Structure 1
Amino acid sequence: MDATTAANLARPPQIGLVALFLKFLRFGLLAFGGPVAQIAMIRQALVEDERWIDRARFNRLLAVLQILPGPEAHELCVHLGMLARGRVGGLLAGLGFMLPGFALMLVAGWLYVSLIAGVAAWTGALLGVQIAVLAIILRAVVRIGEHAIEDRSLAAIAAASLIATLLGVAFWIPLVAAGLAYAAAGRRALIALVLVGAATAALLLGGGGNTNAPPVASAQALTIGALFVAGLKGGLLTFGGAYTAIPYVRADTVGRGWISDAAFLDGVAIAGVLPAPLVIFATFVGYISGGLGGALAITAGMFLPAFAFSMVWFERLEAVVEAPALHRVLAGVAAAVVGIIAGTFVQLSAATFARLPQVPLGVLLFAIALALAWRLKGGWVTPAIVAVGAIAGWALLS
């Protein structure tokens, strides 16, 4: 059978809406191990076993989704649901995939507020978890950077974005400047760094938003709308993986005094062990900040782009992403995101280590967790590192 014949035979079966929802709900219940494991599971079931789509088309689809912001495994489910039953099918497939993680994170948030937060017996274990998550974030920065930073100009953009983040420049300035500059620079790529530096200097001279967490005294009033926007911002800017959502959600929640850095890191840790896209950490942040309404609002904002890109615009995306200029814009944005995440890692580290009763022990635990994150691979690694951090923190930092 040639490739054309195989492609013609590959199509979703006749399936009811309820059956479609339950199929993707099952995928959601088994979605452990991060996007690589999640995509592999979906590929095996719907490409290799059930032939919903042929391999070549699946690979092209995945390439497009990896360029776009948002959790690609979730976007993949939405698109495959659309292939089966149109936009209603896409909506049900996406909801089915995300609901198990969402429900489990709500339970985790309730348990955290009710039984864990503020209890002295948990202090050391939580510090250990937060240190372990810092190591996981640093490893993620390096991994994302290995893919996103392809030349010295992009490395310079990432460095400039790191500095801008630490100086408190509003996140959108390095993103916009980097994307436009790298697209326009062509071979004269040093222009990119000049434009990023100029934009940064202009904002610093004129004042602007600060992505660092402000003192508690400057806390802003919490609203459901603001939590929705915080999630939407994270959902629109997740280039290169879910870790890229961390700076933006943190800036709009920790930065407004609605949740502490410690609780924020605990949410990232819990998300890493649930069957869900890692961006489900936003649900925890929303629940701690604003209860059930806050959790619903920030989650809706976070996942809205993942639904919208496939359900509204996907027919045009494959043509759009072929434009070389857009490739350069996205490459510049991705490099800037690497620098922003690195800057956020520095800020989170400073806040975490400032709370440690014994800094040398914290440094030792961080080094061990980083070594494990660096050398080990597999869906079990993140939960294992979090568990090691909790046990070591309870033993050494309590």
Structure 2
Amino acid sequence: MTEDEARAEPPQISLIALFLKFLRFGALAFGGPVAQIAMIRETLVEQERWIDRARFNRLLAILQVLPGPEAHELCVHFGMMARGRLGGLLAGLGFMLPGFALMLVAAWLYMTLIAGNPGFSGVLLGVQIAVLAIILRAVIRIGEHAIEDRLLALIALAALVATLAGVPFWIALVAAGLTYAFSQRPLLIAVFLIAAIAAAFGNAAMTLPPACGLPIDGAPVTLGALFVAGLKGGLLTFGGAYTAIPYVRADTVGRGWISDSTFLDGIALAGLLPAPLVIFATFVGYVIGGLSGGLAITAGMFLPAFAFSMILFERMEAVVENPRAHRILAGVAAAVIGIIAATFLQLVRTTAERVSDPLVATAVFAAALVAVWRVKGVWVTPAIVAGGCIAGWLLTP
């Protein structure tokens, strides 16, 4: 154990102080999982030294394998490190409550003021462009620490290309971990890569059309069905929150409970709030079933994130402390950077399709990027988001 590892440990903290600390994280969690993880890392790893950098990277790699939003699971894990399972529960609740409350308010405002009003489309677009700059800076910040040599850089690049090509994230993660662990045995690496390519082609051959076809008009809305819709999304959220979208859509849009356009508006709003992107489920549940619907689908979505982290805590800690697993996890962590970078590019492409004036959009993005790169402070991210909102409003025809 190095001197840095020996000195890194959670501080003595009360349950109330722990809850308030993660409530603050939740209130400032703009920019999606990349920016959220970077914020948590900066505070708890770099400044307060709860754990050392290498262990954080390995922990992040493990959480990427589990279903659920990684930033939320990270908070639960840190809370358990400090005050056991009750601490994990309070840390997770603290992190999710601001976004949950704001999404309920946003859904209510949407239903009463925004739905059907084209004047707000430019505002949402301006904020999305600003948030892209926040995500790009966070990708680079995390990558600087996770990618320590050329092989890890190549692994990250390969994961980026594979993700853009539609290869399932689990294939990239397994191949990356094994490749880095057995980097001194090229024949084994060749076998791993051939198996990964075969798995990717096999998955593509077995891929079925989207489950959500024509709406099933008249299907009854129940709180149990909304809970199950959220639970499916929470259990199948591997490799990023966007993988939850088709499952929630199939159980809501597919039953005729909500239109595709309103569903997509909920995803757009989720990207603006300080919360994991899966908070879009709260919007969907509220629009369909009011407050009780929002509570039911949110409970289902976040239940796996709490359960996996709290039940598997000791085993996760054992893996993090096992030196034999370090190279596998280092390779997985590099692949995670590539997957996140690919998600950023996909978001850029999706946002660009809505842009009518590329020069103005580029200027907004550049201004936000300069601000997030050069300005320090707790309120920088909210200020950039507000700037994007103002820019979108001013530039709306």
TM-score, shorter chain, exceeding 0.5 = yes
SS in 2 for 1:379: coil
Quote the residue 2:304 is aligned against. Answer: 304
Shift in alpha-carbon separation, 1:141–1:249, aligned structure 2, 3 A: farther
Deviation digits for residues 305-354 of structure 1 (CA, Å, limit 9, x no counterpart)? 35543x33333443322323422232222222222222222222222221
Contact 1:126 1:266 in 2 (8 A): yes
Q: How does 1:252-331 map to 2 (within 5 A)?
A: 252=247, 263-271=266-274, 278-279=275-276, 281-283=277-279, 285-291=280-286, 292=291, 293=293, 296-298=296-298, 300-302=300-302, 304-306=304-306, 308-309=308-309, 311-331=310-330
Quote the residue 1:160 is aligned against. Answer: 158
Give the whole-Å Cα distance in 2 for the aligned partners of 1:359 and 1:195.
Answer: 42
Q: Which amino acid aligns with 2:101?
A: A
Shift in alpha-carbon separation, 1:24–1:118, aligned structure 2, 3 A: farther
SS in 1 for 2:77: helix
- Alpha-carbon offset, residue 200 of structure 1: 3.1
Shift in alpha-carbon separation, 1:380–1:181, aligned structure 2, 3 A: same
Quote the residue 1:80 is aligned against. Answer: 82
Shift in alpha-carbon separation, 1:226–1:79, aligned structure 2, 3 A: same
Quote the residue 2:171 is aligned against. Answer: 173
Deviation digits for residues 121-160 of structure 1 (CA, Å, limit 9, x no counterpart)? 2121111011112222222222232222223332233223
Deviation digits for residues 44-80 of structure 1 (CA, Å, limit 9, x no counterpart)? xxx99xxxxxx7xx43698475554233334322443
Deviation digits for residues 104-136 of structure 1 (CA, Å, limit 9, x no counterpart)? 332233323432343222121111011112222
Shift in alpha-carbon separation, 1:77–1:108, aligned structure 2, 3 A: farther
Deviation digits for residues 214-239 of structure 1 (CA, Å, limit 9, x no counterpart)? 799678999643432323444x65xx
Deviation digits for residues 154-210 of structure 1 (CA, Å, limit 9, x no counterpart)? 223322322222222333222233233333334649646665445434434x24379
Q: Which amino acid aligns with 1:394?
A: W
Shift in alpha-carbon separation, 1:161–1:90, aligned structure 2, 3 A: closer
Q: Which amino acid aligns with 2:348?
A: S
Quote the residue 1:200 is aligned against. Answer: 200
Give the whole-Å Cα distance in 2 for the aligned partners of 1:392 and 1:231.
Answer: 34
Of 107, 118, 123, which aligns to 2:116? 118
Larger mean Cα displacement after TM superposition, 388-397 or 325-334: 325-334
Contact 2:60 2:333 in 1 (8 A): no
- Alpha-carbon offset, residue 392 of structure 1: 1.0
Q: How does 1:319-358 map to 2 (within 5 A)?
A: 319-358=318-357
RMSD, aligned CA: 4.1
Shift in alpha-carbon separation, 1:165–1:136, aligned structure 2, 3 A: same
TM-score, normalization by structure 2: 0.71
Shift in alpha-carbon separation, 1:388–1:303, aligned structure 2, 3 A: farther
Q: Which amino acid aligns with 1:225?
A: V
Deviation digits for residues 7-39 of structure 1 (CA, Å, limit 9, x no counterpart)? 9xx9969x8xxxx4x554444543344567668
Q: Which amino acid aligns with 1:227?
A: G
Question: Would you say 1:376 and 2:375 are equivalent positions?
Answer: yes
Quote the residue 1:364 is aligned against. Answer: 363
Deviation digits for residues 74-109 of structure 1 (CA, Å, limit 9, x no counterpart)? 432244332xxxx45653554355434432332233
Shift in alpha-carbon separation, 1:288–1:329, aligned structure 2, 3 A: same
- Alpha-carbon offset, residue 364 of structure 1: 1.8
Shift in alpha-carbon separation, 1:160–1:127, aligned structure 2, 3 A: same
Give the whole-Å Cα distance in 2 for the aligned partners of 1:42 and 1:27.
Answer: 10
Q: Which amino acid aligns with 2:364?
A: L
Shift in alpha-carbon separation, 1:113–1:104, aligned structure 2, 3 A: same
Give the whole-Å Cα distance in 2 for the aligned partners of 1:255 and 1:182.
Answer: 38
Shift in alpha-carbon separation, 1:314–1:230, aligned structure 2, 3 A: same
Contact 1:133 1:269 in 2 (8 A): yes
Give the whole-Å Cα distance in 1 for the aligned partners of 2:215 and 2:171.
Answer: 23
Give the whole-Å Cα distance in 2 for the aligned partners of 1:127 and 1:252.
Answer: 25
SS in 2 for 1:378: coil
Give the whole-Å Cα distance in 1 for the aligned partners of 2:329 and 2:60.
Answer: 11
Q: Which amino acid aligns with 2:228?
A: G
Give the whole-Å Cα distance in 2 for the aligned partners of 1:248 and 1:74.
Answer: 21
Give the whole-Å Cα distance in 1 for the aligned partners of 2:170 and 2:136.
Answer: 22
Shift in alpha-carbon separation, 1:28–1:12, aligned structure 2, 3 A: closer
Count of aligned residue pairs for this structure pair: 350
Give the whole-Å Cα distance in 1 for the aligned partners of 2:215 and 2:163.
Answer: 20
TM-score, normalization by structure 1: 0.70
Contact 1:124 1:396 in 2 (8 A): yes
Give the whole-Å Cα distance in 2 for the aligned partners of 1:377 and 1:219.
Answer: 48
Stretches of structure 1 lacking an aligned partner (at least 5 in a row): 1-6, 49-54, 238-244, 272-277
SS in 1 for 2:377: coil
- Alpha-carbon offset, residue 370 of structure 1: 2.0
Q: Which amino acid aligns with 2:360?
A: L
